[in-house]
Amino acid sequence: MDSYEQNYINGQWVDSIGGTPHQVINPATEEPGTKITLGTKADVDAAVAAAKEAFKTFSQTSREERLALLGRIVEEYQKRMPDIAASLAVEMGAPISLGNAMQAPAGLGGFLGTMEALKDFQFSEKLGANTVVYEPIGVVGMITPWNWPLNQIALKVAPALAGGNTMILKPSEECPSSAAILAEVMDAAGVPAGVFNLVQGDGPTVGAAISSHPDVDMVSFTGSTRAGILVAKAAADTVKRVHQELGGKSPNVVLPGAKLEEVLPPTIGGVMLNTGQSCIAPTRVLVHKDQNSDAIAVVKNIVESQEVGDPLAEGNHLGPVVNKAQHGKIQDLIQSAIDEGATLESGGPDLPTNVNRGYYVKPTVFSGVTPDMRIAKEEIFGPVVTLMSYDNLDQAIEIANDTEYGLSAVISGDPAEAVAVAPQLKAGMVIINNWGPAPGAPFGGYKQSGNGREGGVYGLRDFMEVKAISGLPG
């Protein structure tokens, strides 16, 4: 069993102050896979004090010094990518091939993209007779999820560093080792003591302590909308900046007459990848009624070609979902769709036939789904596709927007026709004939999918304060 039982505070690995042992369950075996210590408010206090002190000097570093530091981090990160992939296989069930090809590289991309943004970032600009400057915001608290752990961590840590901030990171207790490996990367890269601090723990204790701490100037959270609301409430008393990327329920608007065999494989693949555990997975597939039967056949063929298996084995199979609770939620939603009258085309409840333990989910397809069904409203976070039919494009757009979320939306079909549809979709990202975010483009959503943006220059701005200076000599 791997063990990361210490926190990284002020440049040193230290024991928790009163923390409790915690075992992370391997979702493929249902047995303990990693041991950590869940931290305490006292641990957060120590990390915040270190970050506050380090901010005095790190905030004064130059663009060139921060670029050099980020470059060293990238070098050290690349050395540890196989270790990161292995840890994700054990803790969240991400197949080792996916970890090496996408999960670990996603974190690397966050650092590289921030470096590009920093190179040309305008820290000062003239606005009439005034000067507007971007300055470090201070101590940043970061609370990150388990599904794309290094991607979400990098999209916070990298711009915080680039902006001259210091930070405290609390990763998900479901997937803690990759964050500990990143702490080792930061140490090896020579990040000054106190600039980056890692406190392991859960949301109700460590997350709440970070969100409410009076010396934390900003809290950046990625996770569920339910948890994001709690973070915002905890942060309200100190009026700190709250930066959030929350849940999603992305539609896939298939334009009338689209060539289904061409446009559906890349977007349905987005529901299968990472066993469906992606906040922007386009699970709600909206198809014109005249193409409904053809779409069912195409989607079934794609989904039924997906195999599940051991995350430690190489291959393109799906692993289990992260834990027992998530598995139970997915099974409950699948059963609700059956009970509410949707047609189960493939998959369904119970374990796949080739496994006898683990939190595996059958890749599943439902047709005949209507907007009032639970499975059309709630975020599934599993390999489940729902097909919904529409009469005309106006109705499709209405259904697509009929959600409390607004993280992303997909349009499948002729890009020339998609031009008129994209502005009508209430989402922070609209992707045509694909599903993943574009490098350098702002990542974030409308409505209850959060506020603020990550990635590139927009992410860098969100981790900085804006100051107006008036009356300077000409």
Contacts of 37 (CB under 8 A, 6+ apart): 5, 6, 7, 15, 16, 19, 20, 21, 22, 200
Percent of the chain with pLDDT over 90: 98
Q: Is the pLDDT of residue 259 over 80?
A: yes
Give the integer Cα–Cα distance in Å for 274 and 454.
21
As a whole number, mean pLDDT of residues 391-398 equals 98
Give the integer Cα–Cα distance in Å for 106 and 150.
7
Closest CA to 112 of 158, 66, 172, 156: 158
Task: Please spell the DSSP secondary structure of 193-251, one letter per residue.
Answer: TTTEEE----IIIIIHHHHH-TT--EEEEES-HHHHHHHHHHHHTTT-EEEEE-----E
Over residues 68-105, the pLDDT tens digits come to 999 999 999 999 999 999 999 999 999 999 999 999 99
Active-site residue, selected from the candidate residues 279, 345, 379, 454:
279
Partners of 13 in beta bridges: 8
* pLDDT band at residue 215 using 50, 70 and 90 as cut-offs: very high
As a whole number, mean pLDDT of residues 424-439 equals 95
- Summary mean pLDDT of the chain: 97
User: Would you state the pLDDT for residue 364?
Assistant: 98
Q: Is the pLDDT of residue 446 over 80?
A: yes
Over residues 333-359, the pLDDT tens digits come to 999 999 999 999 999 998 999 999 999
Give the integer Cα–Cα distance in Å for 114 and 7.
26
Contacts of 16 (CB under 8 A, 6+ apart): 5, 6, 7, 37, 38, 39, 40, 43, 200
Token couple for 184: 């080792």
List C-alpha distances in Å: 446 to 99, 418, 430.
Answer: 29, 20, 12
At residue 354's C-alpha, the angle toward residues 350 and 355, to 5°, is 65
Q: Give yes or no: 378 in active site.
A: no
Active-site residue, selected from the candidate residues 173, 245, 345, 379:
245
As a whole number, mean pLDDT of residues 173-189 equals 98
Q: Is the pLDDT of residue 232 over 80?
A: yes
Q: Is the pLDDT of residue 1 over 90?
A: no
Token couple for 118: 């920093």
* pLDDT band at residue 440 using 50, 70 and 90 as cut-offs: confident
470 DSSP assignment:
-
Phi, psi of 310 (to 5 degrees): -65, 125
Closest CA to 6 of 39, 49, 44, 31: 39
List C-alpha distances in Å: 353 to 197, 198, 314, 347.
Answer: 44, 41, 20, 11
Q: Is the pLDDT of residue 474 over 80?
A: no
User: Would you state the pLDDT for residue 420?
Assistant: 97
177, 179, 183, 184 alpha-carbon torsion, rounded to 10°: 40
As a whole number, mean pLDDT of residues 234-258 equals 97
As a whole number, mean pLDDT of residues 210-236 equals 97
User: Would you state the pLDDT for residue 271?
Assistant: 98
Give the integer Cα–Cα distance in Å for 375 and 334.
7
List C-alpha distances in Å: 410 to 47, 163, 255, 281, 356.
Answer: 41, 32, 10, 9, 36
Contacts of 173 (CB under 8 A, 6+ apart): 22, 24, 36, 38, 200, 201, 202
Token couple for 71: 């470059």
Phi, psi of 176 (to 5 degrees): -90, -25
* pLDDT band at residue 438 using 50, 70 and 90 as cut-offs: confident
Q: Is the pLDDT of residue 33 over 90?
A: yes
Pairing of strands 464-469, 130-136: antiparallel
* pLDDT band at residue 461 using 50, 70 and 90 as cut-offs: very high
Q: Give yes or no: 245 in active site.
A: yes
Q: Is the pLDDT of residue 2 over 90?
A: no
User: Would you state the pLDDT for residue 439?
Assistant: 84
As a whole number, mean pLDDT of residues 205-217 equals 98
As a whole number, mean pLDDT of residues 189-205 equals 98
As a whole number, mean pLDDT of residues 288-293 equals 98
